[in-house]
Each structure stands twice: as C-alpha cells, then as structure tokens.
A = this chain, B = another copy of it.
Amino acid sequence: MKIAVIGGVAAGTSAAARASRVEPEAEIVLFEKNKTISYAGCGLPYYISGVTTERSQLIMNTPEEFQENYGVEVRISHEVTAIYPEEKTLEFEDLVADRIGQEEYDKLIIATGARPMMPPIPGINFERVLPLRTVEDGDRIKRLSGDQNVKNVVIVGGGYIGLEMAEAFDRLGMEISLIEMQENVMPLVNRELAAKIEKHLQEKGINLITGEAVKEFVGDGDVSGVITDQDREIPADLVLFAIGVRPDTELAAEAGVELGVRNAIRVNHRMETNLRDHYACGDCAESINLVSNKPTWVPLGSTANKQGRVAGGNAAGGSNSHFGVLGTAITKVFDLTIATTGIKEEEAEEAGFSPVSLTVNVPNHAGYYPGFKNFVLRGVFDRNSGRLLGAEALGKSGVNKRIDVLASAIYSELTADDLFQLDLSYAPPYSTPKDAVAILGMVAGKKI
C-alpha cells in the first residue's frame, strides 16, 4: 500500500507518522513545498523575540530525521500541482531541480494547511510587508527586526499572531503600532475582556488603533509608512501583516474534493473527504463544533495534530475518529493570559439554546499565599438545561488551568451545578477551597 501525504507541518507529519505506526509495511511519501517540515509555527514569535534561543528548537524533525524515525520518504521543495483522484495519481513540481513528476498512490492525505490572507492593498508587495506563517517568514522578520534601521513596526491585525508579535517586538525594543479594523482587538473575544487587553497593550506603550483599516502602504522602494482609511499616516520600517488565514484548498477543490465552511475541506469524523481513499486534516479541513454540532473551521495546531493522527491511522487501515472541537484557544499578551472555549451567546441562540451569560471575578489561589491575583471568568450557560456552553477567561494568573477544566466540562455537557460538584484540587498555592470554577457554577446557578 502506498500513502501519499501533501503537506509536512503539524497535520501532515502527524498523519505520516501515525500511518507508519499502524501499517509499517506501507510505503509513505510526504510532499512539502517549503524546505522545512515538522516545525512549531506557534513558536515563531518566541524565536523572533529571542525568548526561544535556537531556531533548531522549533523544528521537531528535519526531513532526514523524520525519514529515519518513521520510514517516511520526505520530499521537500516539492509542490503538488494536481491531483487525479480517479487515476489515484498526483503531479508535482520539484522546485529545486525544476522538474515535473508524477506519483501514484492508494490513499491520499491532504494536509495543505492555511495561508495568510494578503488582500490587494496598494503596496502590500513591498519587501518589508510580511506575514508570519512559515519558518522562512520568521527568519525574514527576525533578520529585519534585528536591523538598527528598522525601528518602527506596524502590526496589521489584532488577533493571536498580532498580539503575540506585539510582545515580541516590544522585547526587541521597537516602536509598535497595532491596527485592528474591527472595534476591538481579538474580535472573537467578549468586548469587556477585549477592552482589558487593549488597556494592557496601551500600558505597555503600544500605539493601538482600532476601528480603522489600512488603505495603503507607502514608501520609496520599500515601505516607510501605513495610511489608514481615516488618512492617518503611521511611520513603518517593517509591517507585520496578520489579519488572518484561509484554508489552502484550491488544489483539492480542482480535483473535485468538496469544500465546506469558509472553503475548508469537508470531512467526516474519520477525516474522509467526499472522495473515497482521499483524506484531509489540519488547517485545510473542517471540523464539527461539539456544542452547536455545526461544521466549523478552527485552524489550530492542537486540532491539526489530532486530525492528522486520525487521518493517518485510518488511511493505513485503522479505525479512528476525531469527534470535533470547542474552538479552545489561549494566548499570552505580555502579562495577561486570554483564553476561550465553547460557543458565544450568538452562536448559542442560533443553535437553539437560551443563553445566560455572566462574568465573575475569581481568585487564582488563596489570598494569603504570595502571587494572589483575581482574574475574570465568563460563562455562557443554557437557561433550560443549566448546561455550560462556553467560557472565556482573562488575567495574570489562573486562566490556563480553569479554561482547560471548563473545556473538559463543556465536552462532557456538564451543568452549572456540576461545576460546583467537581472535586477539584485544593491547596493554598494552587486554588481556593471553592475553586474559581465552582464559584462560576454557583453564581450561574443563582442567575439561571
């Protein structure tokens, strides 16, 4: 049996590795158009800032190591240009040898990922206007931000990457402006919480501009400024363009693979596409939201890893499922941690629930133990069943643990009363006798 995998980052390498474990006799070929595989994209901001000291730390396996460890043939700088599902053949371009080739397969795993949105704004093609997606992008930004002549950086987009990079550029001593087109940074987060993030960014000296879009990048030869739709001009020696990503699915679509939400590849729990023996996983694929039961697209490394494992196992003859996601996400913005899981009020209404939401200030641990801090916890519950549907948390300490407990609670369809009943660990350095999660449950119980 021959399994071909397109894409060598989180999902593709997870799939190839798993397939080789499930069916050691299978011949597995992995195609990656870039030079690097198996890297931690989420680590790039920390590599750029120097918090992570070695580039090699971000790379779990070189192509040679991956080949060695898993018996997978890795072809870097190979871009797959066409898939012929009927013939089970794909066409690729060897970007180094400048050669076209063909490869047959019995099973195909599509893990083409996502790519940064780069709309045709005038000047977006300046060399120092850059996205951050690949290790190569990271190398470029690291080199430029180390240049003495590069002082002013403009970040376009106030999502996870934009905020993490604000911290990274600040650590490098740069002057930072951040432009977010929406009213608030982190548009997916509750407004009250987003306002707290904004206040924190301003305290850290970030020039924050919300509710304005970029109209043009200007400069002589390369970027020297950004002009917004309100004709504000901001000096810029470097622009990080991070307004979001979209699934990289043109190749699949041209081959007749069905797309779904936001043009991500439609898959079932087994990571099967509409075409027999063709799987998809990772940032190019859909998932199911476990609360609303609706298809969703949440491109995250954690999900990509799981979907890859399931796709690879099934392609190799196993029988695994990925049930779905809660859209759980977390990020560190300077001293703050912001996290979210489950669904928001609007989605809850659309899904037929009667959402009741509430915000509580809760302790990270015992008040008399050093490092005590309150943090903010929000919950969305269903009024009829009491079920927890979604949660958000923000603060300097305690967020990380509670969001995962609540993600587990949502997965298990627990109610407000269950949050009170949970027997969570207590000792003064770690929590309070009534944990933050229990407090959320108690207050919610009253409100419902």
Contacts and interface: CB of A to CB of B under 8 A. Distances in A.
A375 to B, nearest CB: 14
Most B Cβ at <10 Å: residue of A47, A369, A370:
A369
> What size tier do the contact residues of chain A reach?
35 or more
A246 interface: no
Interface string A51-71: 110100110000000000000
Given A46-B369, A368-B47, A427-B332, A407 B433 contact: no
A425 B306 contact: no
Given A306-B434, A408-B408, A433-B301, A425 B330 contact: yes
A166 interface: no
Most B Cβ at <10 Å: residue of A331, A332, A421, A437:
A421
A332 B430 CA distance: 9
A411 B421 contact: yes
A256 interface: no
Contacts of A206: none
Interface in A391-437: 400-401, 403-405, 407-409, 411-412, 414, 418, 420-431, 433-435, 437
A325 interface: yes
A322 interface: yes
A102 interface: no
A304 interface: yes
Contact of A425 (B51, B400, B426, B431): B400
Interface string A25-45: 000000000000000101100
Contacts of A423: 290, 302-303, 324-328, 341, 407, 411
A195 B444 CA distance: 43
Contact of A408 (B304, B323, B409): B409
Contact of A305 (B368, B408, B412, B434): B434
Contacts of A187: none
A328 B425 contact: yes
Contacts of A407: 422-425
A238 to B, nearest CB: 23
Sorted nearest first, the 9 A-B pairs with minimum C-beta distance are A412-B412, A57-B368, A330-B425, A302-B426, A401-B401, A326-B423, A408-B408, A52-B368, A305-B433
Interface of A: 10, 40, 42-43, 46-47, 51-52, 54, 57-58, 160, 290, 300-306, 322-332, 337, 339, 341, 366-370, 400-401, 403-405, 407-409, 411-412, 414, 418, 420-431, 433-435, 437-438
